[in-house]
Amino acid sequence: MQKSGKVVVVSQHYPPDPSTTAAIVAAISQRVAQETEVLVLSGTAGSAAAASAAELQIVEVRNWMPGKAALLKRALAELMFTARTFVAMLRRLRRGDVTLTVPAPFMLPYAFAAAAKLKGARSVLIMHDLYPDVLVMAGLLKPESLLARAMHALNAPMFRALDAVVIIGRDTENLLLRYDGMTRDKIRFIPNWATLAPGVRAISPDNPYRRSLSARYVVGLSGNLGFTHDPVIVFEAARLLRDTSDIHFLLSGWGVGFDQLKGMQADAKLPNVTLVERVEDDQLETFLSAANAWIIPYRKNVAGVSVPSRFYNLLAIGRPVILVSEADAEAALTVTEHDVGWVVTPGRADELADAIRRAASTDDAERAERATEISRRFDFNAAMAGYAGLIRELAHRD
């Protein structure tokens, strides 16, 4: 791939961390390592010992990970990790290297871009989340707060310093182009991919997650429920449908939103709600196959800010998606363009309940086939070829 130099991948999350970010970064690192030397600067303890690819060199950057609810401690920990990573990059980067990262923690890209510029290395940012927009969307920052304004001000020189920005949703481009430092030639669209093989999974009464449920139609929720998600709209829709005996809610996940769901169910004890603790990866396909349709509940203003990776696996197994989101968000565009589900206005539990009723009264056989066919577009090999090609291009750029 390169005449000289190496690829340096910088990530707070890397296996054995079970997060989606860790899996994505590891997949890219291992693919690129087939063609050139790769060094991973990882913030996950045990990642060096767990490395599965001999071609990879993994150096752990000391990191402290408080719980997500401990906001002040988490901010301090992420600042410290960013500072240590900046020093590690200055020590290990060389002119001609290509370096790649994701915006986790949100301070990291600023230090990342500065270190790469100082060392004469090419730099790529994979834009999983756009800051400060995602913090404003989550209600953690006011749009006109000092921190939000400071981040907006810092974004322009950061984007100017970067050589490429990978977006995983088409809706992100216009938001990026607001910044003076960003130009269209820097932006590459490489969507994430399904980890499950495309193919409609049958809905079986013998599914272990469905066996105890008597309802004809099961609507599910799965995955991390962070600050950008709205668990309340799901629970309130379940409350509105509590007397509809043929619809049941099967809710699983982790994060602050799932803790909120558990608290609401402990108080309300809705008979049409079943909560399941986080499902491990080896049971994910079985769990996702248990429901007739799946909900992805975002707060308002998601367009251009965040793309749900879980979306692709739901399509792959042939399940319609009920997406709570603005209509111009990436996942919503896919749902409506290909008629693989329904899009609901954020904050409207009554609309969500109505969408679930419509889903329960619809024959989804054709929609299921369309979903699996569309999921083939979100292909692992195509994404890896995109990343490898981008790095190859930057490595040979004068």
CA distance 82 to 288: 36
- Name the residue among 170, 139, 68, 173 with its Cα closest to residue 347: 139
Q: How confident is the model at residue 72 (pLDDT cuts 50, 70, 90)?
A: confident
Convert the pLDDT of each residue in 142-151 to its tens digit.
Answer: 999 999 999 9
Over residues 195-205, mean pLDDT: 94
Sheet holding 273-277, edge to edge: 273-277, 247-253, 217-221, 293-297, 321-324, 341-344
Give percent above pLDDT 90 in the chain. Answer: 80
At 305, the amino acid letter reads V
Can you tell me whether residue 216 is helix, strand or coil?
coil
CB atoms under 10 Å from CB of 295, counted, come to: 26
Over residues 165-172, mean pLDDT: 93
* Structural domains in the chain, sorted by start: 7-193+379-395 (3.40.50.2000), 217-375 (3.40.50.2000)
Per the prediction, the chain carries an average pLDDT of: 92
Output the furthest CA–CA distance in the chain (Å, rounded).
Answer: 67
At 131, the amino acid letter reads Y
Over residues 348-371, mean pLDDT: 94
Query: Is residue 54 predicted with pLDDT exceeding 60?
Result: no
Query: Is residue 117 predicted with pLDDT exceeding 90?
Result: yes
- Name the residue among 173, 178, 200 with its Cα closest to residue 188: 173
Q: What is the DSSP string of 304-348?
A: TTB--THHHHHHHTT--EEEES-TTSHHHHHHHHHT-EEEE-TT-
CB atoms under 10 Å from CB of 207, counted, come to: 17
SS3 letters for 241-276?
CCCCCCEEEEEEEECHHHHHHHHHHHHHCCCCEEEE
Can you tell me whether residue 91 is helix, strand or coil?
helix
- Name the residue among 235, 292, 244 with its Cα closest to residue 267: 235
- Name the residue among 133, 117, 145 with its Cα closest to residue 176: 133
Convert the pLDDT of each residue in 305-329 to its tens digit.
Answer: 878 888 999 999 999 999 999 999 9
Query: Is residue 3 predicted with pLDDT exceeding 80?
Result: no
- Name the residue among 151, 117, 115 with its Cα closest to residue 131: 151
